[in-house]
Amino acid sequence: MMTGKGYKIFMFMPFRILPALAMTLVFLIPTIGLADIYRSVDKNGHVHFTNVPTTNEFRFYRGEGDKYRLETLIAHFAEKFQLDKSLLKAVIKVESNFNPLVVSSKGAQGLMQLMPGTAQEIGVKNPFNPSDSIYGGSFYLRKMLDSFDMNLEHALAAYNAGPNAVRKYGGIPPFEETQNYVKKVKHYFDFYSRSKDTF
């Protein structure tokens, strides 16, 4: 009954009141997107964000913002896999320029440009989800660093061209793309190390 009455009142509202109502709605609309962000971490270490928490596992984190969300994800997985945050930023910058939906000509997907086979191998179900992508890329980068005795150049080359290519050539393969990739990541690694709050 209340809904019906409210509907009738609105329908018969004098026309002079409608412009005022419209202006009120215009001023209210921009605030809709300024929701609080809540975060939870599941048993696999994946970070989940929402502005509408559905369980008590979500905890208030802070105001909404894509940049802050990426900073949070990068910090979380850098700590989880014992990586430098600046290194993760550098890899993401070179791989996707922070575009979570990008797909390369070879089929690599998401922020950290995981190939479908690699994503499946390391348990990433949705490479276009920033949390899944950064988890998978961090996991794989950690694996490459461990495989090549913490040699950063070799690990980056393996991330780009595959570990077998690095082993075959005993170092960075003679591929222009891979050689440029290693140089670019090292450049941005240095840049983000000096400018930690920058994307």
Phi/psi for 49 (5° steps) reads -120, 150
Task: Lay out the sheet containing 47-50: strands in order across.
Answer: 47-50, 36-41, 59-63
Listed by start position, the domains of the chain span 2-31, 65-194
Rounded Cα–Cα distance for residues 95 and 89 (Å): 10
pTM of the model: 0.68
Confidence at residue 35, expressed as pLDDT on a 0 to 100 scale: 56
**Could you tell me where the beta strands, DSSP code E, fall in the chain?**
36-41, 47-50, 59-63
For the stretch 115-159, pLDDT in tens is 999 999 999 999 999 999 999 999 999 999 999 999 999 999 999
Q: Which of 124, 129, 178, 116 is nearest to 153 (CA)?
A: 178
What's the confidence (pLDDT) of residue 58? 74
Q: Which residues form the catalytic set?
A: 95
Q: Collapse the DSSP code of 182 into the 3-class scheme (helix H, G, I; strand E, B; otherwise coil) and give the result.
A: helix
The CATH architecture assigned to 65-194 reads Orthogonal Bundle (1.10)
d(CA 46, CA 78): 13
Tell me what pLDDT residue 50 has: 78
The pLDDT tens digits for 159-168 are 999 999 999 9
The pLDDT averaged over each successive group of 10 residues in the chain (199 residues) is 40 43 38 57 82 73 64 94 97 96 94 95 93 96 98 98 97 97 97 80
pLDDT of residue 99: 93
